[in-house]
Amino acid sequence: MFDLDGAWQLDERVSVRPERFGALLYHFGTRRLSFLKSSTLLDVVRRLPEQPSARAACAHAGVPDSELPRYRAALAALAASRMIRRRT
Amino acid sequence: MSLVDASGAACKPLIEQFQYGLDAPICLTWELTYACNLSCVHCLSSSGRRDPGELTTAECRALVDEFERMQVFYVNIGGGEPTVRPDFWDLVDYATAHHVGVKFSTNGVKITDAVARRLAASDYVDVQISLDGATEAVNDAIRGPGSYRTAVRAMEHLAAAGFRGFKISVVVTRRNAGQLDAFQAMADLYGAQLRLTRLRPSGRGADVWDELHPTDAQQRALYEWLLRHGENVLTGDSFFHLAGYGTSLPGLNLCGAGRVVCLIDPVGDVYACPFAIHDSFLAGNVRQDGGFARVWRSSELFAELRRPSGGGACSACSAYDACRGGCMAAKFFTGLPLDGPDPECVRGHGRTALDAVATGSVPKPSRDHSHRRAGPVPVTIGRRRPPDRACDESPLAGMARPGR
């Protein structure tokens, strides 16, 4: 299960391109693409490095509590594909 | 609906969004030169001789700068044989230094031991070796004498240098459709990944398509093979017409032309896809004002391709939602209407449609850079007639004959 209370950031080898439906992410190391299908999720991802936790990043991006499980699942998918990683 | 699609292949279904286009292409093919040391019978760009108008090194660098500004993540470089350009390695270095990843296709002619070691050291460069037969006889009949050994030598160099996961790129034909397991074994042997793509009737491929495109039985076997091995095999999403059999194959089941895909040819012309080098699919040129970005974002052709289209003759077919009518280029270069069935329609509608195509109505490629044929040329062809009169040295003098 994705650790919402951990500190996260984008992998350094990931490039982010905003699109009308959200954003495209490309990882130069794995050569894989991911699609963020909401601009709010893009906002969350962008706030990760400056926030103490993923939960705080979600709150600052305006994700309501009822939506938190969906965002948690999305962040888990991004972690599984190595697009985001724990901040050390 | 989940908020993230993490894709295994390059593209993943997001049809609702993609069909309206993206701010920059995902699958951009950039052919650097029409020059090639080979003369493959199915070359989709009719390559052979360099074009005198090819982009200069400075123009290529400026184009890379533009890719960087547009955040084109990576480019698929091809040709011709791109590595015969003297500035090729310089351009690869320039692209990767500007955050544009490179995957290049080659027949292997320049992949020496030293080059392989250099390539293995970079995260940002991927290599695709073209091979159209798992045996020398099958390959060389398509790609020319010696081409199998050249490719094998290149793969040996890459494997020895520790380049894991380079691609072995195979165009599936009637001759090699029975060798899929052998290709996979080859990929395993070299620590490579297999990539299978569809034979298109584009370029010189039009001349051999009738005899080389897979039979119905081979198509079916290929589909089943891809279902079994699909997750580990790349396809460039080129077999989506096979989705008509039932289950969709992994990847983007949609014609990406002008939506997520485009081609920039060696003289800077921008086409809707690499298989559609024809004036009908020419969107503009990167040398025009506004450069590539303007062509991608505002060309009329691309706007047209991004508008939702009906299924035409296919809309009544129960497979249409799966196959989406198949490949635009395959239809165009076999003389079929773009809103009708694919020539290789798995329901057989393509064959019926092909029978209705009038002889002589099939479009010809707009460019041909093929090597001029070696060997004797009949002297009557090309021999210059003396001027009818001295003052008739006009290009049209004495040309009142029928024909071009």
With an 8 Å Cβ cutoff, the interface of chain A facing chain B consists of 13, 15, 17-22, 24, 26, 28-29, 31-38, 41, 70-71, 73-74, 77-78, 80-81, 83
Contact A21 B14 (CB under 8 A): yes
- Quickly state the pLDDT bin for B388 (edges 50, 70, 90): very low
Does the pLDDT value for residue A37 go beyond 90?
Answer: no
Specify whether the CB–CB gap between B249 and B243 falls below 8 A: yes
Mode of pairing for the β-strands spanning B74-79 and B269-271: unpaired
Name the residue facing A37 among B4, B22, B73 (closest C-beta).
B4
pLDDT of residue B19: 65
Cα(B27)–Cα(B29) distance, integer angstroms: 6
Residue B286: which pLDDT band, with cuts at 50, 70 and 90? very high
Interchain CB distance below 8 Å, A17 and B126: no
Nearest CA in chain A to B9: A32
Torsion, CA B34, CA B39, CA B41, CA B45, rounded to 10: 0
Q: Mean pLDDT of all residues in chain B?
A: 88
Q: Do B4 and A41 touch (CB under 8 A)?
A: yes
Residues of B in contact with A14 (CB under 8 A): none
- Which chain A residues are closer than 8 Å to B123 by Cβ? 13, 28-29
Strands B193-198 and B167-172: parallel
What is the distance in angstroms between the Cα of B21 and the nearest Cα belonging to chain A? 10
Is the pLDDT higher at B251 or at B335?
B335
Worst-scoring range by mean pLDDT, A30-34, B210-214, B306-310, B323-327?
Answer: B306-310
Non-local (6+) Cβ contacts of A22 within 8 A are A35, A36, A37, A38, A39, A41, A42, B3
Identify which of B2, B24, B26 has the shortest CB distance to residue A33. Answer: B26
Inter-chain touch A26–B11, beta carbons under 8 Å: no
B20: tokens are: 């309206």
pLDDT tens-digit readout, B17-28: 666 778 899 989
Peptide bond into B311 cis (omega under 30): no
**Residues of A with Cβ-Cβ distance to B14 under 8 angstroms:** 21, 35, 37
* The pair of three-digit structure tokens given for residue B363, joined into one six-digit string: 């479009």
Interface predicted TM-score (ipTM): 0.87
Q: Is B374 exposed, middle or buried (0-12, 13-18, 19+ CB in 10 A)?
A: exposed
Task: Tally helices (H) and strands (E) across chain B.
Answer: 14, 10
B88 three-state secondary structure = helix
State pLDDT tens for residues B364-376: 888 899 998 754 4
* Nearest-CA distance A88 → chain B (Å): 23
Amino acid present at B54: E
């030598």: which residue's tokens? B153
* Pick from B4, B23, B124: CB nearest A34: B4
Chain-chain contact of A24 with B74 (C-beta, under 8 angstroms): no
Rounded Cα distance between B37 and B368, Å, is: 15
B199 in Cβ contact with B173 (< 8 Å): yes
Query: Is B121 in the A-facing interface, judged by CB distances under 8 Å?
Result: no
> pLDDT tens across B74-92, in order?
999 999 999 999 999 999 9
Q: Which helix (H) or strand (E) holds B121?
A: none
Would you list the DSSP string of B321-372? HHHTT--HHHHHTTT--TTS--TT-TTSHHHHHHHTSPTT-SPPPS---PPP
Answer whether A33 sits within 8 Å of B71, measured CB to CB: no
Residues of B in Cβ contact (< 8 Å) with A32: 6-8
Cα of A53 to nearest chain B Cα, Å: 20
Report, in angstroms and rounded to the nearest whole number, the Rg of chain B calculated over CA atoms: 22
User: Across-strand partners of A23?
Assistant: A18, A36
* A-B Cβ pairs (cutoff 8 Å, strict): 79
pLDDT at position B11 over 80: no
List CB contacts (< 8 A) between B4 and chain A: 34-37, 41, 74, 77-78
Does position B4 have pLDDT exceeding 90, yes or no?
no
CA atoms within 13 A on the CB side of B180: 24
Q: For residues B2 and B138, which has the higher predicted lDDT (pLDDT)?
A: B138
Cβ–Cβ under 8 Å, residues B128 and B171: no
| pLDDT, tens digit (0-9, with 9 covering 90-100), for B202-213 | 999 999 999 999
Helix axes B216-229, B180-190, angle to 10 degrees: 40
Residues 273-302 of B with CB under 8 A from A: none
